């Protein structure tokens, strides 16, 4: 008997984490985070709640990673800080994951595995990685077989591409071989389930860049996901062909290019990358800036350039020459403070050409739209998906690709994964339309559902508690729902600091309340003097004896100010009471 328990990723984009259980052993596939909504103040990232998994820590025998995107590896530090288990994946995937773990100051047992190489996790999970095409190198699907004859295939994130830029497309033949052997359940990526047309190949972006780059008469600024090494590779090659020097604006770009060079995925001439301080002195038509910020992250290089505040201290040093060993003199590392070189401000200006080679993450559209507007205001020519579709293609397969995977595997059961509920429903319907999966084998699962496969039959049997852990943007602190609700309330209503001076011995109010508002509208701020008068009148009714009770006075001050604010403006702003005792 095998149980499948998703802890995240089935009902949202991100948080991908799925537990397989056989006997007294468990295997975790992926440990991903999710980026918060722009409406969630102060939240940096969201990670799965591992509580259920950690209640019996001895059962977890390993983590297998499908690929190196944050929504699949970003929560690994939050798990490894509490539980040390082996982590398996391809070399590039482990390189990315190791970087996340190192930054967190943790150690990890990382075990590199190649595609089509079978390995054992615990005593009961025979695992094999299957090469798939995605928007990051060395992405894989996962085949898991157990001694009771259960065979599961987890696709990870994938698409089909007949002419992959690295020559390594999805290993469809291996999917077919597994299908011929018999697959109990296929768990398949649902991200593109609403798209009816085939996902375009990556070559379309390559052709589009080859068309747009020569048009640019001034500087070229290209922004994409830093993990899209295939796209970075042909961007760098095209820059070299056109005689443009490249500036890397963003530490994640530097890290991923360094890792790709180390693994032989990119060959970057040492003279191509130049320090950012050289950019202002070079002719504009000889400069290409690769910048983070395609999602309009406030602290990203592209956003800061659009605001005119991008300085060298936020920029990593150039890639060292190939003959300089790491750690040797002359080797600069992006994380070393002494390697950061003061630079002048670089600003988007008229004559620049900016290419946003990424789609906006769902929920991020308004921020990206505002960034595009800002770039246009500064006089740049901007190419983005809405105006020029060829600048980006998805790394996820659409309906034709999803159908082809189902046809190759021909599973007895099908579970859509990775997506919001509407994507899961549409993917399940697609599987139904193929007629290849028996109707009882079409299973819709959500986070926390327990699916059990026994004697070739799968069914829902239970549900376990799942949740999300909210990480503070400025540190490792965790926020509960009450703290987030309080932040949302402060963002909506603002806050009033109310100071009252009390002579405790004389049992009288000396002065106040003195009010100062933050986050209030102009009209609300104008009412503060009147609110102070109203609140003072209320406080004057407090008996002299009670004025000696500071805790009571603080509560009454809060109530009086909130009540007066409600009467004047209709809003009950938050109040921070300060009682000064004489």
Distance CA 111, CA 506 (A): 73
Pair of tokens at residue 434: 């193929």
Average pLDDT for 192-217 = 96
User: In angstroms, what CA-CA distances link 93 with 98, 114, 129, 230, 424?
Assistant: 9, 11, 12, 14, 26
pLDDT per residue over 569-580, tens digit each? 887 888 888 888
Look at strands 220-223 and 353-356 and give their pairing: parallel
Each residue's pLDDT tens digit, 392-425: 999 999 999 999 999 999 999 999 999 999 999 9
Give me the pLDDT at residue 76, please: 97
3-class SS letters over 419-462: ECHHHHHHHHHHHHHHCCCCHHHECCCCCCEEEEEECCEEEEEE
Task: Give the model confidence (pLDDT) of 426-473 as tens digits.
Answer: 999 999 999 999 999 999 999 999 999 999 999 999 999 998 888 765
As given in the structure block, the two tokens for residue 87 are 């982590």
**In the 8-state DSSP scheme, what is residue 327?**
T
Q: Is the pLDDT of residue 77 over 70?
A: yes
Q: pLDDT tens digits, residue range 91-135?
A: 999 999 999 999 889 999 999 999 999 999 999 999 999 999 999
Q: Are 153 and 175 in contact (CB under 8 A)?
A: yes
Q: How confident is the model at residue 318 (pLDDT cuts 50, 70, 90)?
A: very low
Q: Give residues with Cβ within 8 angstroms of 157, minimum separation 6.
A: 66, 67, 69, 72, 132, 134, 139, 189, 191, 395, 396, 418
The pLDDT assigned to 145 comes to: 98
Contacts of 549 (CB under 8 A, 6+ apart): none
Query: Tens digit of pLDDT for each residue in 543-561?
Result: 777 777 778 888 888 888 8
When mean pLDDT is compared across 15-19, 190-194, 345-349, 501-505, the lowest value belongs to 501-505
Does the pLDDT at position 22 exceed 70? Answer: yes
Query: How many beta carbons lie within 10 A of that of residue 536, not counting itself?
Result: 17
Which band of pLDDT confidence, cut at 50, 70 and 90, is reported for residue 519?
confident
* Model pLDDT for residues 279-307, shown as the tens digit of each residue: 888 999 999 999 999 988 888 899 999 98
By residue count, the chain amounts to 582
Q: Is the pLDDT of residue 327 over 50?
A: no
The more confident residue out of 187 and 296 is 187
Question: What is the per-residue pLDDT across 524-543, written as a single tens digit (0 to 9) for each?
Answer: 888 899 889 888 888 888 77
- Express each pLDDT in 259-272 by its tens digit: 999 999 998 887 89
Among 192, 208, 217, smallest CA distance to 352 is for: 217
DSSP for 140-202, written as a single string: EEEEEE-TTS-EEEE--S-B--SS-TTS----HHHHHHHHHH--SEEEEE-TBTT--SPPPPT
Q: Tell me the pLDDT of the chain averaged across its residues.
A: 88
| pLDDT given for residue 332 in this prediction | 31
Residues above pLDDT 90, as percent of the chain: 64
Tens-place pLDDT, residues 229-245 = 999 999 999 999 999 99
């Amino acid at each position: 008997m095998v149980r499948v328990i998703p802890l995240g990723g089935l009902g949202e984009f991100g948080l991908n984490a799925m537990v397989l259980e056989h006997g007294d052993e468990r295997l975790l596939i992926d440990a991903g985070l999710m980026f918060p909504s722009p409406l969630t103040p102060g939240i940096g990232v969201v990670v799965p709640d591992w509580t259920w998994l950690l209640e019996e820590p001895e059962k977890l025998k390993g983590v297998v990673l499908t690929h190196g995107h944050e929504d699949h590896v970003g929560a690994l530090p939050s798990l490894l800080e509490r539980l040390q288990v082996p982590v398996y994946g391809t070399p590039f995937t482990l390189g990315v994951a190791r970087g996340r773990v190192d930054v967190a100051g943790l150690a990890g047992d990382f075990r590199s595995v190649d595609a089509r190489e079978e390995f054992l996790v615990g005593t009961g999970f025979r695992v094999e990685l299957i090469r798939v095409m995605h928007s990051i190198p060395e992405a894989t699907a996962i085949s898991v077989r157990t001694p009771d004859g259960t065979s599961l295939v987890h696709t990870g994130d994938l698409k089909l591409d007949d002419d992959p830029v690295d020559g390594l497309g999805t290993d469809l033949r291996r999917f077919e071989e597994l299908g011929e052997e018999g697959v109990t359940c296929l768990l398949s990526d649902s991200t593109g389930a609403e798209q009816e047309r085939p996902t375009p190949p990556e070559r379309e972006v390559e052709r589009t860049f080859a068309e747009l780059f020569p048009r640019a008469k001034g500087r070229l600024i290209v922004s994409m996901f830093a993990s899209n090494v295939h796209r970075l590779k042909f961007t760098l090659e095209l820059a070299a062909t056109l005689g443009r020097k490249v500036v890397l604006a963003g530490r994640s770009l530097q890290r991923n290019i360094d890792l790709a060079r180390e693994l032989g995925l990119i060959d970057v001439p040492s003279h191509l990358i130049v320090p950012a301080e050289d950019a202002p002195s070079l002719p504009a038509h000889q400069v290409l800036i690769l910048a983070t910020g395609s999602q309009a992250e406030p602290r990203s290089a592209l956003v800061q350039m659009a605001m005119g505040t991008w300085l060298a201290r936020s920029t990593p040093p150039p890639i060292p020459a190939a003959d300089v060993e790491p750690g040797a003199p002359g080797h600069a590392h992006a994380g070393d403070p002494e390697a950061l070189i003061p630079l002048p401000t670089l600003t988007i200006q008229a004559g620049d050409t900016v290419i946003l080679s990424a789609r906006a993450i769902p929920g991020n559209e308004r921020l990206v739209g505002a960034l595009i507007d800002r770039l246009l205001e500064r006089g740049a020519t901007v190419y983005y998906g809405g105006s020029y579709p060829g600048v980006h293609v998805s790394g996820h397969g659409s309906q034709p690709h999803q159908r082809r995977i189902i046809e190759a595997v021909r599973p007895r059961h099908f579970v859509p994964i990775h997506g919001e509920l509407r994507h899961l429903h549409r993917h399940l319907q697609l599987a139904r339309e193929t007629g290849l999966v028996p109707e009882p084998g079409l299973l819709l699962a959500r986070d926390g559902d327990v699916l059990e496969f026994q004697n070739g039959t799968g069914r829902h049997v239970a549900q376990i508690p799942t949740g999300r852990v909210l990480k503070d943007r400025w540190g490792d602190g965790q926020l509960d729902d009450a703290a987030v609700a309080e932040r949302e309330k402060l963002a909506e209503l603002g806050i009033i600091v109310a100071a009252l001076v009390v002579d405790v011995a004389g049992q009288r109010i000396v002065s106040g309340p003195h009010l100062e508002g933050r986050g209030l509208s102009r009209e609300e701020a104008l009412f503060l003097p009147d609110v102070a008068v109203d609140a003072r009148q209320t406080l004057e009714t407090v008996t002299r004896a009670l004025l000696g009770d500071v805790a009571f006075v603080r509560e009454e001050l809060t109530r009086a100010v909130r009540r007066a604010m409600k009467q004047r403006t209709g809003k009950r702003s938050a109040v921070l009471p300060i009682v000064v005792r004489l």
